[in-house]
Amino acid sequence: MLTFTIRRLVLSVPTLLFISLVIFLLLELAPGDPMAQVPLTVPPEVKEKMRQALGLGEPIHIRYVKWVVQFFWIEPQVLFDHIFGTTFSEGKLRVISWQTRSPVMDLVIQRLPQTLWVVGVAYVVAIIIAIPVGIYSAYRQYSAFDQFGTFITMIGFSVPPFFTGPLMVVVFAVYLHWFPSIYDTTLVVDDFESFGKQIRQMFLPVMVLALQITAQISRFMRASMLDNFNQDYVRTARAKGMSEYTVVMVHVLRNSLIPVVTVIALGIPSIFGGAIITEQVFAVNGIGQALISAIQANDLPMVQTLTFIFAVLIVLFNLIADVLYGVLDPRVRYD
């Protein structure tokens, strides 16, 4: 299991490098000019100097290598220094935002926890709801519960987060006053009262995301359980007198989870897309919101780094899904 995990981890490095190259080239080849906002009265030679100051003068490949070194070599050193108080990164150039003139990674460190909290909690909530719903609708196929559940998941599948978000704000925040409509990131959780506040402000964004994920997972859970119920091994298990609980919850469930894990892994990019929208609706200051403001400000180093952080998150979650796959299906491990 450990070697399997390590092999997966090593394989993800070239993937990430390649993705970073794709993002870099996308930003490079685009016909936009970061100097477009500078007034026309600025003479060309001054403009050229400004370019140099932003690090735009050098050819593409040198800038790419520089970025890679900064991101993969210098930034980890900074993190190491921060934790252990050493001075490895002293005087080395970090990835600097054009907007704030401060290192991009500082901002990422500030913003990342909010995004991860919302997305992570949403995933947990969704899995807790979706798996039992999927199991029961498959077990009682075409029952009233199944029909209703299928309809609800179809709606959750079809209604986009940028509609459910405002809708929930109108209903639960404006009319009912149950939850705040805006996420307050300055809130410090130190006692039960502030913890309750934190739960309440996380409720709406998490629900919007969880609805999307639940719909996805429970649909596939149901389909996969149905596929397995017709298999011979189920009949064998029943024939040898196993309890219905063991048949469903041990034999069928474990086999049905395998394709569902794949589906979860494939859905991860769209969940992070949904997270960007949810952050925008509820004013959660996560990395999605930072990305949008960076794009609008034409802040290329920030855009590059944030997009890449999204790629890292997606690859990381895929990795977790892969490892889960290995836990569930022993055949995968020994390949």
Partner 1 sequence: MTESAPKRIGALTDTIPSQPPRSQWLDVWDQFKQHKGALIGGITFLTIILAVVVGPEIWWVDAQYLPKGREFINLRDTRPIYHALWDESAKVSWLYPLGTDNLGRDTLARMMQGGRVSIAVGLTAMLLSILLGTLIGVTAGYFRRLDGPLMRLTDLFLALPLLPMILVASLLFREALSKTFGVEGGVFVLVVGLIGITSWMHTARIVRGDVLALKEREFILAAQSIGTKPSKLVMRHLLPNVMSPIMVSATLGIAVAIITESALSFLGFGFPPDFPTWGRLLNDSVDRMDLYPERVLWPGLAISLTVLSVNYLGDGLRDALDPRIRGR
Q: Which residues bind partner 1 (CB under 8 A)?
A: 15, 18-19, 22-23, 26-27, 30-32, 154-155, 157-160, 162-163, 166-167, 169-170, 174, 266, 269-270, 272-273, 276-277, 280-281, 291-292, 295-296, 298, 303, 306-307, 310-311, 313-315, 318
Burial of residue 245 (number of CB atoms within 10 Å: 0-12, 13-18, 19+)? exposed
Q: How far is the CB of 44 from partner 1 (least distance, A)?
A: 20
Inter-residue contact 38 to 50 (CB < 8 Å): yes
What tokens appear for 44 in the block? 């060309």
Phi, psi for residue 321 in degrees, rounded to 5:
-60, -40
The nearer residue to partner 1, 166 or 180, going by C-beta atoms, is 166
The nearer residue to partner 1, 46 or 266, going by C-beta atoms, is 266
User: What is the Cα–Cα distance from 327 to 258, expressed in whole angstroms?
Assistant: 10
Of 293, 230, 221, 299, which Cα lies nearest the Cα of 258? 221
The nearer residue to partner 1, 201 or 318, going by C-beta atoms, is 318
Q: Is the dihedral of CA 316, 321, 326, 332 positive or negative?
A: negative
List, in sequence order, every residue forming a beta bridge with 103; answer none if it has no partner: 96
The nearer residue to partner 1, 89 or 218, going by C-beta atoms, is 218
Q: How far is the CB of 325 from partner 1 (least distance, A)?
A: 15
**At CB < 8 A and 24+ separation, what contacts does 76-81 make?**
78/103, 78/105
The nearer residue to partner 1, 297 or 324, going by C-beta atoms, is 297
Q: How far is the CB of 53 from partner 1 (least distance, A)?
A: 22
Q: How far is the CB of 186 from partner 1 (least distance, A)?
A: 23
Q: How far is the CB of 260 from partner 1 (least distance, A)?
A: 17
Which amino acid does the sequence have at 146? Answer: D
